[in-house]
């Protein structure tokens, strides 16, 4: 494909994507304004926009945002630290990789969110249970990718470094770590995203505060338009965080 036709087809796909979004908004508007869908089930997009402006202008979201982001930061820190350390230790011997990696992969495939009631029993309704759950769920991709990253470093790099006299620490610092880093960074990004999703999810199920809690609270109060405004807000926050970690990952890879 020539660069010119590549650019043209890219512009075309952007146009199709935009048209899709406009069509969804138009359908949404028609459903509420013309087809008589109840405002309790589906509020008018213009009233959602008005609510969103109010939410942003009043700064009402700050408390819940702070709770959710604090939970996320704590959960991710625990997941990253635990996942990288355990992953590194496991990767040091082929035997432990053979035993522990399938175990972790199996546990990762369990929907851990099902254990939320247990987490609430252990850690209460407050942020602690969200942090614990987010840390658990975020831990697995970090640990698995750390094992993969350190476990499959091409032997020739290790042999070459040894032949030049690299010490154990030098081997780690200059060979194993840079070789494993791209895979570990991908694991950290995945861990961050699943921690965020599980924290938002658990806030909607059982919590005292946080953005997920706020959304459910508004739903129960039948303030659907404001609920939609908060959903849009959370989507924007999640997209921004996703963008941020993707950029950080790409920078770390270089």
Partner 1 sequence: MTAPDAAVHVRNVSHQFGEEGEVHHVRALADTSLDIARGELLCLIGPSGCGKSTLLNVMGGLLLPTAGTVHVGDVPVRGPLPREIAFVFQENALFPWSTVMENVVLGMVFQGVPRTEREARARRSLEAVGLADFTGHYPGQLSGGMRQRAALARALSLQTGILLMDEPFGALDEQTRMILGEDLSVLLARTEKTIVFVTHSLGEAVFLADRVAVFSARPGTIKEIIAVDEPHPRRPEFVTSAKFHALRNRLYTLLHDEIRKAVSQSASGGGAPDQRP
Q: How many CB atoms lie within 10 A of CB 33?
A: 12
Is 252 among the residues that bind partner 1 (CB under 8 A)? Answer: no
Shortest CB 162 distance to partner 1, Å: 5
Shortest CB 173 distance to partner 1, Å: 10
Within 81-120, the residues that bind partner 1 by CB under 8 A are: none
Within 122-161, the residues that bind partner 1 by CB under 8 A are: 154-157, 159-161
Segment interacting with partner 1 (CB under 8 A) among 67-75, 110-118, 178-186, 203-211: 178-186
Segment interacting with partner 1 (CB under 8 A) among 33-41, 165-173, 217-225, 226-234: 165-173
> What is the rounded distance in angstroms from the CA atom of residue 239 to the CA atom of residue 249?
15
> What is the rounded distance in angstroms from the CA atom of residue 172 to the CA atom of residue 153?
11
> What is the rounded distance in angstroms from the CA atom of residue 212 to the CA atom of residue 7?
40
From residue 179 to residue 208, the character string flagging contacts with partner 1 as x (rule: CB under 8 A) and all else as - is x-x---------------------------
Is 172 among the residues that bind partner 1 (CB under 8 A)? Answer: no
Q: Nearest CA to 157 among 180, 137, 139?
A: 180
> What is the rounded distance in angstroms from the CA atom of residue 57 to the CA atom of residue 233?
13
| Residue 111 region by backbone torsions, left for phi larger than 0, else alpha for psi between -120 and 50, else beta | beta
User: Contact positions toward partner 1, by CB under 8 A?
Assistant: 154-157, 159-167, 170, 174-175, 178-179, 181
């Amino acid at each position: 494909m020539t660069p010119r036709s590549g650019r043209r087809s890219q512009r075309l796909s952007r146009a199709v994507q935009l048209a899709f979004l406009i069509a969804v908004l138009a359908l949404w508007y028609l459903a509420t304004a013309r087809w008589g869908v109840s405002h309790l089930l589906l509020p008018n997009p213009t009233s959602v926009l008005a609510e969103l402006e109010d939410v942003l202008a009043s700064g009402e979201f700050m408390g819940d945002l702070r709770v959710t982001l604090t939970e996320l930061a704590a959960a991710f820190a625990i997941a990253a630290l635990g996942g990288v350390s355990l992953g590194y230790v496991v990767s040091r011997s082929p035997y432990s990789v053979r035993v522990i990696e399938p175990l972790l992969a199996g546990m990762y495939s369990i929907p851990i969110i099902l254990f939320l009631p247990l987490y609430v029993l252990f850690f209460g309704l407050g942020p602690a249970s969200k942090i614990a759950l987010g840390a658990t769920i975020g831990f697995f991709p970090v640990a698995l990718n750390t094992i993969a990253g350190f476990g499959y470093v091409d032997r020739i790099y290790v042999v070459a470094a040894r032949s030049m006299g690299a010490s154990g620490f030098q081997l780690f610092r200059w060979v194993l770590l840079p070789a494993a880093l791209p895979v570990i960074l991908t694991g950290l990004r995945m861990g961050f995203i699943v921690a965020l999703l599980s924290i938002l999810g658990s806030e909607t199920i059982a919590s005292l505060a946080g953005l997920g809690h706020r959304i459910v609270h508004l739903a129960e109060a039948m303030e659907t338009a404001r609920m939609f405004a908060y959903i849009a807000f959370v989507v924007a926050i999640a997209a921004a965080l996703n963008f941020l970690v993707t950029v950080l990952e790409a920078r770390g890879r270089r």
